[in-house]
Structure 1
Amino acid sequence: MYFLFFLIIPICALIAKASQNSFIDFITIATQPIALSAYSVTFSMAFVASLFNAFFGFILAWVLVRYNFPGKRFLDAAIDLPFAVPTSVAGLTLATVYSPEGWIGEFLGRFGIQVIYTRLGVATAMVFVSLPFVVRSLQPVLQEIDSQIEEASWSLGASPYSTFRKVLFPPLLPAFITGVTLGFSRAIGEYGSLVLVSSNIPYKDLIASVLIFQNLEQYSLGQATVIATVVLLISFSILLGVSSIQSWNRNKQK
Protein backbone atom coordinates (compact mmCIF):
# COMPACT_ATOMS: atom_id res chain seq x y z
CA MET A 1 0.00 0.00 0.00
CA TYR A 2 2.84 2.35 0.84
CA PHE A 3 4.60 1.57 -2.43
CA LEU A 4 1.36 2.08 -4.35
CA PHE A 5 0.16 5.36 -2.88
CA PHE A 6 3.49 7.11 -2.35
CA LEU A 7 5.41 6.00 -5.43
CA ILE A 8 3.53 4.22 -8.19
CA ILE A 9 0.42 6.42 -8.34
CA PRO A 10 2.31 9.78 -8.20
CA ILE A 11 4.74 8.65 -10.90
CA CYS A 12 1.91 7.36 -13.10
CA ALA A 13 0.02 10.63 -12.58
CA LEU A 14 3.08 12.61 -13.67
CA ILE A 15 3.55 10.50 -16.79
CA ALA A 16 -0.17 10.65 -17.57
CA LYS A 17 -0.11 14.44 -17.30
CA ALA A 18 2.91 14.65 -19.58
CA SER A 19 1.28 12.28 -22.10
CA GLN A 20 -1.55 14.76 -22.61
CA ASN A 21 0.85 16.58 -24.91
CA SER A 22 1.26 15.22 -28.39
CA PHE A 23 4.51 13.42 -29.14
CA ILE A 24 5.75 16.35 -31.25
CA ASP A 25 4.93 18.85 -28.51
CA PHE A 26 6.57 16.63 -25.90
CA ILE A 27 9.80 16.41 -27.90
CA THR A 28 9.72 20.14 -28.64
CA ILE A 29 9.36 21.08 -24.98
CA ALA A 30 11.84 18.47 -23.76
CA THR A 31 14.54 19.50 -26.25
CA GLN A 32 14.18 23.27 -26.14
CA PRO A 33 17.61 24.92 -25.65
CA ILE A 34 16.94 26.12 -22.11
CA ALA A 35 15.84 22.62 -21.07
CA LEU A 36 18.87 20.96 -22.67
CA SER A 37 21.13 23.43 -20.88
CA ALA A 38 19.41 22.69 -17.56
CA TYR A 39 19.80 18.92 -18.09
CA SER A 40 23.48 19.41 -18.90
CA VAL A 41 24.19 21.54 -15.83
CA THR A 42 22.20 19.26 -13.51
CA PHE A 43 23.70 15.93 -14.54
CA SER A 44 27.25 17.18 -15.12
CA MET A 45 27.45 18.87 -11.72
CA ALA A 46 25.81 15.85 -10.06
CA PHE A 47 28.46 13.67 -11.71
CA VAL A 48 31.25 15.93 -10.45
CA ALA A 49 29.77 15.87 -6.95
CA SER A 50 29.51 12.07 -7.12
CA LEU A 51 33.18 11.74 -8.05
CA PHE A 52 34.13 13.98 -5.13
CA ASN A 53 31.91 12.05 -2.73
CA ALA A 54 33.15 8.70 -4.01
CA PHE A 55 36.75 9.57 -3.17
CA PHE A 56 36.41 11.54 0.05
CA GLY A 57 33.33 9.67 1.25
CA PHE A 58 35.25 6.40 1.06
CA ILE A 59 38.18 7.88 2.98
CA LEU A 60 35.87 9.35 5.61
CA ALA A 61 34.03 6.07 6.11
CA TRP A 62 37.34 4.21 6.37
CA VAL A 63 38.71 6.65 8.97
CA LEU A 64 35.54 6.54 11.08
CA VAL A 65 35.56 2.73 11.18
CA ARG A 66 39.26 1.95 11.42
CA TYR A 67 40.65 4.72 13.65
CA ASN A 68 39.97 6.25 17.04
CA PHE A 69 40.73 9.93 17.57
CA PRO A 70 39.45 12.88 19.62
CA GLY A 71 36.21 14.24 18.22
CA LYS A 72 35.30 11.04 16.39
CA ARG A 73 31.77 10.92 17.81
CA PHE A 74 31.19 14.55 16.86
CA LEU A 75 32.40 13.94 13.31
CA ASP A 76 30.31 10.80 13.01
CA ALA A 77 27.20 12.68 14.13
CA ALA A 78 27.96 15.61 11.82
CA ILE A 79 27.81 13.29 8.80
CA ASP A 80 24.02 13.15 9.16
CA LEU A 81 23.66 16.92 9.44
CA PRO A 82 22.50 17.37 5.81
CA PHE A 83 19.63 14.97 6.57
CA ALA A 84 18.42 17.07 9.51
CA VAL A 85 19.06 20.62 8.27
CA PRO A 86 16.47 22.15 5.90
CA THR A 87 17.98 22.57 2.46
CA SER A 88 17.25 26.30 2.50
CA VAL A 89 19.31 26.60 5.69
CA ALA A 90 22.11 24.62 4.05
CA GLY A 91 22.03 26.93 1.03
CA LEU A 92 22.12 30.03 3.23
CA THR A 93 25.05 28.60 5.18
CA LEU A 94 27.00 27.77 2.02
CA ALA A 95 26.21 31.17 0.52
CA THR A 96 27.52 32.86 3.68
CA VAL A 97 30.73 30.85 3.87
CA TYR A 98 31.58 30.78 0.16
CA SER A 99 30.51 34.33 -0.72
CA PRO A 100 33.29 36.79 -1.66
CA GLU A 101 33.05 38.15 1.90
CA GLY A 102 32.86 34.72 3.54
CA TRP A 103 35.63 32.87 5.33
CA ILE A 104 36.37 30.45 2.50
CA GLY A 105 35.09 32.58 -0.39
CA GLU A 106 37.39 35.47 0.48
CA PHE A 107 40.39 33.14 0.54
CA LEU A 108 39.49 31.53 -2.80
CA GLY A 109 38.85 34.96 -4.28
CA ARG A 110 42.55 35.77 -3.91
CA PHE A 111 43.20 33.08 -6.52
CA GLY A 112 40.41 34.25 -8.80
CA ILE A 113 38.04 31.42 -7.80
CA GLN A 114 34.38 32.32 -7.37
CA VAL A 115 32.05 29.71 -5.89
CA ILE A 116 28.70 31.39 -5.32
CA TYR A 117 26.57 32.06 -8.40
CA THR A 118 28.61 29.70 -10.55
CA ARG A 119 28.46 26.02 -11.48
CA LEU A 120 31.11 25.41 -8.84
CA GLY A 121 28.60 26.59 -6.26
CA VAL A 122 26.05 24.15 -7.67
CA ALA A 123 28.52 21.28 -7.33
CA THR A 124 29.44 22.39 -3.78
CA ALA A 125 25.81 22.32 -2.65
CA MET A 126 25.31 18.92 -4.28
CA VAL A 127 28.33 17.57 -2.42
CA PHE A 128 26.94 18.86 0.87
CA VAL A 129 23.55 17.17 0.52
CA SER A 130 24.76 13.86 -0.95
CA LEU A 131 27.97 13.00 0.92
CA PRO A 132 26.20 11.14 3.79
CA PHE A 133 24.83 8.51 1.40
CA VAL A 134 28.31 7.26 0.52
CA VAL A 135 29.59 7.25 4.10
CA ARG A 136 26.53 5.57 5.60
CA SER A 137 26.41 2.93 2.87
CA LEU A 138 30.03 1.92 3.43
CA GLN A 139 30.27 2.04 7.22
CA PRO A 140 28.22 -1.11 8.04
CA VAL A 141 30.10 -3.19 5.45
CA LEU A 142 33.47 -1.97 6.69
CA GLN A 143 32.52 -2.83 10.27
CA GLU A 144 31.61 -6.40 9.27
CA ILE A 145 34.95 -7.13 7.57
CA ASP A 146 37.06 -9.25 9.89
CA SER A 147 40.59 -7.90 10.44
CA GLN A 148 41.87 -11.48 10.39
CA ILE A 149 41.24 -11.56 6.63
CA GLU A 150 43.77 -8.77 6.17
CA GLU A 151 46.24 -10.45 8.51
CA ALA A 152 45.93 -13.69 6.56
CA SER A 153 46.61 -11.84 3.33
CA TRP A 154 49.68 -10.15 4.78
CA SER A 155 50.98 -13.44 6.19
CA LEU A 156 50.80 -14.91 2.68
CA GLY A 157 53.04 -12.13 1.41
CA ALA A 158 50.49 -9.75 -0.12
CA SER A 159 51.29 -6.06 -0.04
CA PRO A 160 48.88 -3.59 1.61
CA TYR A 161 47.78 -2.40 -1.85
CA SER A 162 47.14 -5.95 -3.09
CA THR A 163 45.26 -6.75 0.10
CA PHE A 164 43.04 -3.74 -0.37
CA ARG A 165 42.45 -4.34 -4.09
CA LYS A 166 41.86 -8.09 -3.99
CA VAL A 167 40.57 -8.76 -0.48
CA LEU A 168 38.89 -5.67 0.95
CA PHE A 169 37.51 -3.73 -2.00
CA PRO A 170 35.44 -6.51 -3.71
CA PRO A 171 32.99 -6.91 -0.78
CA LEU A 172 32.84 -3.11 -0.47
CA LEU A 173 32.06 -2.54 -4.14
CA PRO A 174 28.26 -3.12 -4.04
CA ALA A 175 27.82 -0.79 -1.05
CA PHE A 176 30.17 1.72 -2.65
CA ILE A 177 28.19 1.76 -5.90
CA THR A 178 24.92 2.00 -3.99
CA GLY A 179 26.10 4.97 -1.94
CA VAL A 180 27.46 6.84 -4.96
CA THR A 181 24.28 6.19 -6.93
CA LEU A 182 22.02 7.33 -4.11
CA GLY A 183 24.13 10.45 -3.71
CA PHE A 184 23.94 11.10 -7.45
CA SER A 185 20.16 10.78 -7.39
CA ARG A 186 19.92 13.05 -4.36
CA ALA A 187 22.05 15.68 -6.09
CA ILE A 188 19.84 15.61 -9.19
CA GLY A 189 16.72 16.29 -7.14
CA GLU A 190 18.17 19.01 -4.91
CA TYR A 191 16.46 22.41 -5.01
CA GLY A 192 16.43 24.35 -1.74
CA SER A 193 20.16 24.89 -1.33
CA LEU A 194 20.94 25.26 -5.04
CA VAL A 195 18.49 28.09 -5.59
CA LEU A 196 20.49 30.15 -3.06
CA VAL A 197 24.04 29.40 -4.22
CA SER A 198 23.47 29.70 -7.97
CA SER A 199 22.43 32.70 -10.03
CA ASN A 200 19.69 30.63 -11.74
CA ILE A 201 20.53 32.23 -15.08
CA PRO A 202 19.62 30.13 -18.15
CA TYR A 203 22.56 28.66 -20.07
CA LYS A 204 24.84 29.45 -17.13
CA ASP A 205 23.98 27.57 -13.92
CA LEU A 206 20.23 26.98 -14.13
CA ILE A 207 19.40 23.42 -13.06
CA ALA A 208 16.39 21.30 -13.98
CA SER A 209 14.59 21.50 -10.62
CA VAL A 210 14.75 25.30 -10.62
CA LEU A 211 13.58 25.39 -14.25
CA ILE A 212 10.59 23.24 -13.31
CA PHE A 213 9.71 25.60 -10.46
CA GLN A 214 10.08 28.64 -12.72
CA ASN A 215 7.62 27.10 -15.17
CA LEU A 216 5.18 26.45 -12.34
CA GLU A 217 5.47 30.08 -11.24
CA GLN A 218 4.55 31.10 -14.78
CA TYR A 219 1.59 28.67 -14.75
CA SER A 220 3.24 26.58 -17.50
CA LEU A 221 2.19 23.29 -15.94
CA GLY A 222 2.56 21.40 -19.21
CA GLN A 223 6.19 22.41 -19.71
CA ALA A 224 7.03 21.75 -16.06
CA THR A 225 5.49 18.28 -16.31
CA VAL A 226 7.39 17.39 -19.47
CA ILE A 227 10.75 18.49 -18.05
CA ALA A 228 10.05 16.66 -14.78
CA THR A 229 9.16 13.51 -16.75
CA VAL A 230 12.43 13.68 -18.69
CA VAL A 231 14.47 14.03 -15.49
CA LEU A 232 12.48 11.17 -13.95
CA LEU A 233 13.09 8.86 -16.90
CA ILE A 234 16.81 9.65 -17.05
CA SER A 235 17.24 9.15 -13.30
CA PHE A 236 15.28 5.89 -13.35
CA SER A 237 17.37 4.61 -16.28
CA ILE A 238 20.58 5.37 -14.39
CA LEU A 239 19.33 3.61 -11.25
CA LEU A 240 18.14 0.64 -13.28
CA GLY A 241 21.50 0.41 -15.03
CA VAL A 242 23.40 0.50 -11.73
CA SER A 243 21.09 -2.12 -10.27
CA SER A 244 21.75 -4.36 -13.27
CA ILE A 245 25.50 -3.93 -12.85
CA GLN A 246 25.23 -4.86 -9.16
CA SER A 247 23.18 -7.98 -9.98
CA TRP A 248 25.75 -9.01 -12.57
CA ASN A 249 28.57 -8.44 -10.06
CA ARG A 250 26.80 -10.55 -7.40
CA ASN A 251 26.20 -13.38 -9.88
CA LYS A 252 29.82 -13.22 -10.97
CA GLN A 253 31.03 -13.47 -7.37
CA LYS A 254 28.77 -16.48 -6.76
Structure 2
Amino acid sequence: MKQIGWAAALLIAPVCSAAEGVIEVGNFRQYSQMPEPPWQLVRFDDDIPPTRYALQQYEGVHAVEARAEASMALLARPLAINLQQTPVLCWRWWVDAPIEQADMTRKSGDDYAARVYVTFDLPDSALSLGTRIKLGLARAVHSDDLPAAAINYVWDNRHPVGTTQPNAYTDRAQMLVLQSGTDNSGRWIEQRRNLLTDLQQLFEADTGVTRQLAVASDTDNTGATARARFADLHLVPADQPCQFPPQS
Protein backbone atom coordinates (compact mmCIF):
# COMPACT_ATOMS: atom_id res chain seq x y z
CA MET A 1 0.00 0.00 0.00
CA LYS A 2 1.39 3.40 -0.92
CA GLN A 3 1.63 5.52 2.21
CA ILE A 4 1.47 8.99 0.62
CA GLY A 5 -1.73 10.63 1.77
CA TRP A 6 -2.62 7.71 4.04
CA ALA A 7 -4.63 9.93 6.41
CA ALA A 8 -5.89 12.58 4.02
CA ALA A 9 -9.51 11.64 4.63
CA LEU A 10 -9.27 11.60 8.41
CA LEU A 11 -12.40 12.65 10.29
CA ILE A 12 -12.60 13.96 13.83
CA ALA A 13 -15.45 12.47 15.85
CA PRO A 14 -15.99 10.72 19.18
CA VAL A 15 -16.30 6.98 19.54
CA CYS A 16 -19.21 5.20 21.19
CA SER A 17 -18.75 3.84 24.70
CA ALA A 18 -20.16 0.66 26.15
CA ALA A 19 -20.65 -0.33 29.79
CA GLU A 20 -17.91 -1.16 32.28
CA GLY A 21 -15.10 0.72 30.57
CA VAL A 22 -15.38 -1.04 27.20
CA ILE A 23 -15.30 1.23 24.16
CA GLU A 24 -16.80 -0.35 21.05
CA VAL A 25 -15.29 0.90 17.79
CA GLY A 26 -16.17 -1.94 15.45
CA ASN A 27 -19.39 -3.65 16.47
CA PHE A 28 -20.65 -4.58 13.02
CA ARG A 29 -23.99 -5.87 14.30
CA GLN A 30 -25.23 -2.27 14.44
CA TYR A 31 -24.74 -1.40 10.76
CA SER A 32 -26.90 -2.06 7.72
CA GLN A 33 -24.15 -1.65 5.11
CA MET A 34 -20.49 -0.79 4.65
CA PRO A 35 -19.24 1.84 4.55
CA GLU A 36 -21.61 3.55 6.95
CA PRO A 37 -20.68 6.51 9.20
CA PRO A 38 -18.45 6.81 11.06
CA TRP A 39 -16.72 4.29 8.81
CA GLN A 40 -15.64 5.49 5.39
CA LEU A 41 -13.86 4.12 2.35
CA VAL A 42 -10.49 5.82 1.84
CA ARG A 43 -8.80 5.56 -1.56
CA PHE A 44 -5.33 6.88 -2.37
CA ASP A 45 -5.19 6.49 -6.14
CA ASP A 46 -8.21 6.61 -8.45
CA ASP A 47 -6.33 4.37 -10.89
CA ILE A 48 -6.20 1.53 -8.36
CA PRO A 49 -9.44 -0.43 -7.87
CA PRO A 50 -10.74 -0.24 -4.30
CA THR A 51 -10.85 -3.21 -1.99
CA ARG A 52 -14.49 -4.17 -1.48
CA TYR A 53 -16.03 -4.26 1.99
CA ALA A 54 -19.34 -5.85 2.96
CA LEU A 55 -21.10 -6.93 6.13
CA GLN A 56 -21.22 -10.65 6.77
CA GLN A 57 -22.07 -13.09 9.51
CA TYR A 58 -19.57 -15.92 9.38
CA GLU A 59 -19.34 -18.84 11.78
CA GLY A 60 -21.47 -16.98 14.30
CA VAL A 61 -19.50 -13.72 14.15
CA HIS A 62 -20.85 -10.44 12.76
CA ALA A 63 -18.00 -9.06 10.68
CA VAL A 64 -16.94 -6.91 7.80
CA GLU A 65 -15.41 -8.84 4.91
CA ALA A 66 -12.63 -7.37 2.76
CA ARG A 67 -12.03 -8.69 -0.75
CA ALA A 68 -8.90 -7.47 -2.52
CA GLU A 69 -8.16 -8.13 -6.18
CA ALA A 70 -5.07 -6.12 -7.19
CA SER A 71 -6.76 -3.41 -5.14
CA MET A 72 -6.38 -1.08 -2.20
CA ALA A 73 -8.72 1.01 -0.06
CA LEU A 74 -9.04 1.42 3.67
CA LEU A 75 -12.16 1.03 5.73
CA ALA A 76 -11.43 3.73 8.30
CA ARG A 77 -13.03 5.63 11.14
CA PRO A 78 -12.00 8.36 13.59
CA LEU A 79 -10.54 7.24 16.88
CA ALA A 80 -10.43 9.59 19.85
CA ILE A 81 -9.64 7.76 23.08
CA ASN A 82 -7.71 8.32 26.30
CA LEU A 83 -4.66 6.06 26.06
CA GLN A 84 -4.14 6.25 29.80
CA GLN A 85 -7.62 4.88 30.51
CA THR A 86 -8.32 2.41 27.69
CA PRO A 87 -5.07 1.60 25.89
CA VAL A 88 -5.82 -2.00 24.88
CA LEU A 89 -7.26 -2.65 21.41
CA CYS A 90 -9.01 -6.00 20.94
CA TRP A 91 -10.31 -7.55 17.73
CA ARG A 92 -11.01 -10.73 15.83
CA TRP A 93 -9.70 -11.35 12.33
CA TRP A 94 -9.65 -14.09 9.73
CA VAL A 95 -7.78 -14.59 6.46
CA ASP A 96 -8.34 -17.27 3.88
CA ALA A 97 -4.59 -17.32 3.26
CA PRO A 98 -1.61 -14.96 3.43
CA ILE A 99 -0.35 -13.31 0.24
CA GLU A 100 2.34 -15.59 -1.13
CA GLN A 101 4.10 -12.92 -3.21
CA ALA A 102 4.24 -10.29 -0.45
CA ASP A 103 7.50 -8.95 0.99
CA MET A 104 7.20 -6.25 3.65
CA THR A 105 10.80 -5.13 3.07
CA ARG A 106 10.13 -3.92 -0.50
CA LYS A 107 7.67 -1.42 -1.98
CA SER A 108 6.71 -3.94 -4.64
CA GLY A 109 5.75 -6.43 -1.93
CA ASP A 110 4.01 -4.08 0.53
CA ASP A 111 0.72 -6.01 0.61
CA TYR A 112 -1.06 -7.85 3.42
CA ALA A 113 -4.02 -10.20 3.53
CA ALA A 114 -5.14 -8.32 6.65
CA ARG A 115 -4.01 -5.28 8.58
CA VAL A 116 -5.38 -3.26 11.47
CA TYR A 117 -3.75 0.02 12.16
CA VAL A 118 -3.99 3.09 14.27
CA THR A 119 -2.65 6.58 13.53
CA PHE A 120 -1.38 9.04 16.13
CA ASP A 121 -0.23 12.58 16.66
CA LEU A 122 2.90 12.83 18.82
CA PRO A 123 4.25 15.66 20.96
CA ASP A 124 7.11 17.63 19.43
CA SER A 125 9.41 16.27 22.12
CA ALA A 126 9.03 12.80 20.58
CA LEU A 127 10.10 13.99 17.12
CA SER A 128 13.57 14.92 15.94
CA LEU A 129 14.08 18.25 14.22
CA GLY A 130 14.49 16.49 10.89
CA THR A 131 11.27 14.55 11.38
CA ARG A 132 9.36 17.70 12.31
CA ILE A 133 10.64 19.41 9.15
CA LYS A 134 9.75 16.47 6.90
CA LEU A 135 6.33 16.09 8.51
CA GLY A 136 5.63 19.79 8.09
CA LEU A 137 6.54 19.62 4.40
CA ALA A 138 4.38 16.52 3.90
CA ARG A 139 1.42 18.19 5.58
CA ALA A 140 1.86 21.28 3.39
CA VAL A 141 1.75 19.11 0.26
CA HIS A 142 -0.84 16.50 1.22
CA SER A 143 -2.95 17.33 4.28
CA ASP A 144 -2.75 19.06 7.64
CA ASP A 145 -4.34 15.90 9.06
CA LEU A 146 -1.31 13.75 8.20
CA PRO A 147 -0.46 12.15 11.57
CA ALA A 148 3.01 11.72 12.99
CA ALA A 149 2.89 7.97 13.46
CA ALA A 150 1.02 4.82 12.50
CA ILE A 151 1.16 1.32 13.91
CA ASN A 152 0.23 -1.41 11.44
CA TYR A 153 -0.72 -4.78 12.94
CA VAL A 154 -0.37 -7.20 10.03
CA TRP A 155 -1.00 -10.77 8.96
CA ASP A 156 2.21 -11.48 7.06
CA ASN A 157 3.26 -14.37 4.88
CA ARG A 158 6.83 -15.11 5.97
CA HIS A 159 8.22 -13.08 8.87
CA PRO A 160 8.02 -14.45 12.43
CA VAL A 161 5.35 -13.19 14.80
CA GLY A 162 6.75 -10.19 16.68
CA THR A 163 8.78 -8.88 13.73
CA THR A 164 8.84 -5.08 13.52
CA GLN A 165 9.79 -3.23 10.38
CA PRO A 166 9.45 0.34 9.10
CA ASN A 167 7.01 0.51 6.22
CA ALA A 168 8.67 0.28 2.83
CA TYR A 169 7.39 3.77 1.96
CA THR A 170 7.86 5.67 5.24
CA ASP A 171 9.41 5.13 8.65
CA ARG A 172 6.49 7.04 10.19
CA ALA A 173 4.49 3.83 9.76
CA GLN A 174 5.77 0.82 11.67
CA MET A 175 4.73 -2.72 10.83
CA LEU A 176 4.23 -5.30 13.58
CA VAL A 177 3.60 -8.92 12.61
CA LEU A 178 0.90 -10.53 14.76
CA GLN A 179 0.14 -13.52 12.54
CA SER A 180 2.30 -15.13 9.89
CA GLY A 181 1.88 -17.91 7.38
CA THR A 182 -0.98 -20.36 7.14
CA ASP A 183 -1.05 -22.01 10.58
CA ASN A 184 -3.96 -19.88 11.80
CA SER A 185 -5.61 -19.04 8.47
CA GLY A 186 -9.15 -20.18 7.83
CA ARG A 187 -10.40 -19.50 11.36
CA TRP A 188 -11.17 -16.66 13.74
CA ILE A 189 -8.19 -15.41 15.72
CA GLU A 190 -8.53 -13.06 18.70
CA GLN A 191 -5.93 -10.31 19.20
CA ARG A 192 -5.09 -7.96 22.06
CA ARG A 193 -2.54 -5.11 21.86
CA ASN A 194 -1.67 -2.32 24.25
CA LEU A 195 -1.51 0.72 21.95
CA LEU A 196 0.35 2.87 24.46
CA THR A 197 3.02 0.24 25.08
CA ASP A 198 3.47 -0.36 21.36
CA LEU A 199 3.65 3.38 20.68
CA GLN A 200 6.35 3.77 23.32
CA GLN A 201 8.38 0.87 21.96
CA LEU A 202 8.04 1.58 18.24
CA PHE A 203 8.30 5.40 18.32
CA GLU A 204 10.01 6.08 21.66
CA ALA A 205 7.13 8.38 22.59
CA ASP A 206 5.78 8.53 26.13
CA THR A 207 2.29 9.29 24.89
CA GLY A 208 0.30 10.28 21.82
CA VAL A 209 -3.15 11.23 20.59
CA THR A 210 -5.10 8.64 18.59
CA ARG A 211 -6.54 9.89 15.33
CA GLN A 212 -7.79 7.05 13.15
CA LEU A 213 -8.49 3.32 13.16
CA ALA A 214 -8.54 1.38 9.90
CA VAL A 215 -8.80 -2.17 8.60
CA ALA A 216 -7.68 -3.29 5.19
CA SER A 217 -6.78 -6.06 2.82
CA ASP A 218 -4.49 -4.72 0.10
CA THR A 219 -2.96 -6.36 -2.96
CA ASP A 220 -2.25 -3.42 -5.27
CA ASN A 221 1.52 -3.95 -5.35
CA THR A 222 1.57 -7.71 -5.93
CA GLY A 223 -1.60 -7.97 -8.01
CA ALA A 224 -2.76 -10.86 -5.82
CA THR A 225 -6.20 -11.81 -4.51
CA ALA A 226 -6.99 -11.94 -0.79
CA ARG A 227 -9.98 -12.14 1.53
CA ALA A 228 -10.10 -11.15 5.17
CA ARG A 229 -12.71 -10.57 7.86
CA PHE A 230 -12.62 -8.23 10.87
CA ALA A 231 -14.94 -8.19 13.86
CA ASP A 232 -15.57 -6.98 17.40
CA LEU A 233 -13.04 -4.15 17.57
CA HIS A 234 -13.09 -2.58 21.04
CA LEU A 235 -10.86 -1.01 23.68
CA VAL A 236 -10.50 -1.92 27.34
CA PRO A 237 -8.39 -0.78 30.29
CA ALA A 238 -4.99 -2.46 30.63
CA ASP A 239 -6.14 -4.52 33.62
CA GLN A 240 -9.31 -5.84 32.01
CA PRO A 241 -9.76 -8.75 29.59
CA CYS A 242 -11.12 -8.31 26.10
CA GLN A 243 -14.91 -8.62 25.86
CA PHE A 244 -15.59 -10.78 22.82
CA PRO A 245 -19.24 -11.79 22.42
CA PRO A 246 -19.81 -15.54 22.09
CA GLN A 247 -20.08 -16.95 18.59
CA SER A 248 -23.72 -17.69 17.89
Provide TM-score, normalisation by structure 2. 0.23
Provide TM-score, normalisation by structure 1. 0.22
Structure with the higher fraction of residues in strand conformation: 2
Higher relative contact order (Cα pairs below 8 Å, separated by 6+ residues): 2
